[in-house]
Amino acid sequence: MMRISLAPDYRRPLPGSVTQQLLDPRGARTVLGDQIAGDGLPDPIRPQPNSLFGPRGVCFAPDGGPFFVADTGHHRLMIWNTVPQADNADADLLIGQPDFFSEGRNAHGPLGPATLNMPTGVSTDGKVLAVADAWNHRV
């Protein structure tokens, strides 16, 4: 299952802890990308406005938005204008694919300024956005 969980408060795991999760005793408040079929098994992860496949980078811009997720397996950067408050909220924008239903390295085309190939990290100061585009060997 590929998902991101958001909680208003959390405790960092102890150094040397086996778990790498951020812990909140009350559980997640918002879950994104939770694609589960009726039988409890993960659905095939097709690109959609609310699906994630192997997300590896998350970034909050200052003052509550936008919120960015490097959707590594779909070769795209998902963008919500504000931090989502509902489970499986659709993203507002994306970079790396022509639409929310397409996927493929460099959008199945040549390397270009708006394509991605395994984005793994994202950071912003509210003015500049930086994306680690791992297999294109660039930021």
Res. 103: pLDDT tops 70: yes
User: Average pLDDT, stretch 83-105?
Assistant: 93
Q: What's the pLDDT tens digit per position in 19-76?
A: 444 555 565 567 777 666 555 555 567 899 999 888 999 998 887 779 999 999 999 9
pTM of the model: 0.76
Give the integer Cα–Cα distance in Å for 72 and 117. 8
Give the integer Cα–Cα distance in Å for 69 and 55. 7
Domain 4-136, CATH class in plain words: mainly beta
- Other CB atoms closer than 10 Å to residue 22's CB: what's the count? 14
